[in-house]
């Protein structure tokens, strides 16, 4: 009898001890980490982002739209250099001003997209609309040249072209650059 | 008597330090995201200056990235899924550092764009700051033990319970 009571009591202590151990473990062990945690955070972010962007008046298209119209064509660096030597073509650098300051085609005018309206009036606003303009400034991430060229066409310029390969192609042929 | 190194080790592994760090890092990322979310076009311009992300994916990154920072920031402060949030932010910080270092070597004249319109140069100072934040997220990932909704089943209560009893 006493032995069985002792056995029950010891079993109770054992269970209590084991429960306490589990609780302690639960408190001090790192929480379980699964891919669902990541999915939850990423999924919530994507849903919120897309919903907000759709309703935001400053929202942007998910895939950038190409602005190349029929009015704008490409010009190869060698052809562009022939025109450069004649001095009848205006070269426009569409990159942000800090990049223009670092290096640009010698004699090119800076017309960054961010301040296009202001810079257009200051630099080429009075230029003959039929004069040929060659725009350059393209990176892996952004087609500055396309956007500036389409803006120039919208302002009535009839002969706007884009330098194929941009400043890199120009530099590779050792054509004149300045900083 | 405990040695100084064991005291330092104790502090570095403390869950209270984790609580402080995740509150700080969470706050930083919430602040950073709130500057970018309202105008994704400006943020896209900032990312484009790094010349790393391809044109077709640029807008998607500019739309989603700030929200990821915001959600992770809130999760860290509220104590929800903190390990996952810390891991994601750590990954982002590692990526930011990589982008900044690449552009330092390219000698690009760009600002980091980390806090929206506030101009801060992409420099070694920025790399150092990011690295410190990255170490903070690692500490949170490894040692955070103070959080809400662990018991009561936010997502995996049963699985957690079963694991600990086995």
How many cross-chain Cβ pairs, A to B, lie less than 8 Å apart? 128
The answer to whether residue A68 sits within a structural domain is no
Report the mean per-residue pLDDT for chain B.
Answer: 85
Same domain, A43 and A80: no
**Rounded to whole angstroms, what are the CA distances from A92 to A14, A112, A170, A173?**
83, 9, 13, 19
At B113, is the pLDDT very low, low, confident or very high (cuts 50, 70, 90)? confident
Cβ pair B84:A140 closer than 8 A? no
Determine the 3-state secondary structure of A12 from DSSP.
Answer: helix
The answer to whether residue A130 sits within a structural domain is yes
Same domain, A79 and A106: yes
For residue A46, which residues of chain B lie inside 8 Å, CB to CB?
A: 64, 67
The answer to whether residue B101 sits within a structural domain is yes
Same domain, A80 and A150: yes
Closest by CA position to A75, among listed A142, A174, A159? A159
Give the domain extent around B127: 13-143
B59, B72, B87, B106, best to mutate vs chain A, most A CBs in 10 Å = B59
Angle (nearest 5°) at CA B73 between B43 and A25:
155
Same domain, A48 and A93: no
Q: How many domains does chain A have?
A: 2
Same domain, A90 and A158: yes
Give the domain extent around A38: 2-55
CATH number at residue A97: 3.40.250.10
The answer to whether residue B65 sits within a structural domain is yes
pLDDT in tens, B76-92: 999 888 999 999 999 99
Kindly provide the residue ranges of all beta strands, DSSP E only, lying in chain A, ordered along the sequence.
73-75, 90-93, 104-105, 109-110, 133-136, 160-163, 177-178
The answer to whether residue A34 sits within a structural domain is yes
The answer to whether residue B4 sits within a structural domain is no
CA pair distance B90, B163, nearest whole angstrom: 27
The answer to whether residue B26 sits within a structural domain is yes
Respond yes or no on whether ipTM tops 0.90.
no
The answer to whether residue B157 sits within a structural domain is no
Same domain, A19 and A83: no
Same domain, A81 and A140: yes
The answer to whether residue B151 sits within a structural domain is no
Same domain, A97 and A138: yes
For residue B150, which residues of chain A lie inside 8 Å, CB to CB?
A: 26, 31
Residue B58 has its nearest CB partner, among A26, A28, A141, at: A141
Over range A73-87, report the average pLDDT.
88
The answer to whether residue A43 sits within a structural domain is yes
Which of the residue ranges A143-152, B2-11, B15-24, B145-154 would you say has the lowest mean pLDDT?
Answer: B145-154
Around A93, how many Cα atoms within 13 Å sit in the side-chain half-sphere? Answer: 22
pLDDT at A158: 85
Would you list the DSSP string of chain B? ---HHHHHHHHHT-HHHHHHHHHHHHHHHHHHHHHHTT-HHHHHHHHHTT--S-HHHHHHHHHHHHHHHHHHHHHHHHTSSHHHHHHHHHHHHHHHHHHHHHHHHHT---B--TBTTB--B-SHHHHHHHHHHHHHHHHHHHH----SSTTTTSS-HHHHHHHHH-
Contact A135, A163 (CB under 8 A): yes
The answer to whether residue A89 sits within a structural domain is yes
pLDDT in tens, A49-59: 999 999 999 99
For strands A73-75 and A90-93, give the pairing: unpaired
Q: How many domains does chain B have?
A: 1
Same domain, A89 and A31: no
Same domain, A41 and A97: no
Entry pTM? 0.80
């Amino acid at each position: 009898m006493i032995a069985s009571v002792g056995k029950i009591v010891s079993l109770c202590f054992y269970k209590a001890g084991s429960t306490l151990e589990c609780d302690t473990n639960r408190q001090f062990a790192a929480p379980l980490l699964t891919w669902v945690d990541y999915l939850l955070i990423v999924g919530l972010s994507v849903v919120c982002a897309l919903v907000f962007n759709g309703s935001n008046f400053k929202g942007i298209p998910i895939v950038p739209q190409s602005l190349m119209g029929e009015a704008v064509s490409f010009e190869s660096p060698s052809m562009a250099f022939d025109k450069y030597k004649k001095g009848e073509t205006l070269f426009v650098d569409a990159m942000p001003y800090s990049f223009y300051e670092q290096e640009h085609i010698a004699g090119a005018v800076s017309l960054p997209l961010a301040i296009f309206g202001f810079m257009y009036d200051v630099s080429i606003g009075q230029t003959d609309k039929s004069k040929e303009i060659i725009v350059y400034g393209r990176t892996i991430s952004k087609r500055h040249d396309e956007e500036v060229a389409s803006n120039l066409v919208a302002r009535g310029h009839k002969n706007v072209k884009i330098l194929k390969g941009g400043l890199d192609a120009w530099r590779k042929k050792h054509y004149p650059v300045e900083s | 008597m405990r040695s100084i190194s064991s005291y330092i080790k104790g502090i570095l592994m403390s869950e209270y330090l984790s609580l402080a760090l995740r509150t700080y890092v969470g706050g930083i990322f919430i602040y950073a995201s709130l500057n970018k979310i309202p105008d994704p076009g400006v943020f896209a311009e900032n990312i484009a200056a790094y010349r790393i992300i391809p044109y077709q994916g640029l807008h998607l990154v500019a739309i989603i990235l700030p929200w990821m920072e915001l959600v992770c920031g809130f999760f860290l402060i509220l104590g929800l899924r903190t390990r996952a949030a810390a891991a994601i932010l750590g990954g982002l910080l590692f990526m930011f550092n990589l982008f900044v270092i690449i552009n330092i070597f390219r000698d690009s004249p760009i600002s980091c764009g980390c806090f929206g319109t506030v101009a801060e140069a992409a420099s070694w100072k920025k790399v150092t700051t990011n690295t410190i934040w990255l170490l903070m997220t690692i500490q949170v990932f490894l040692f955070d033990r103070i959080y809400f909704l662990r018991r009561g089943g936010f997502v995996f209560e049963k699985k957690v319970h079963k694991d600990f009893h086995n």
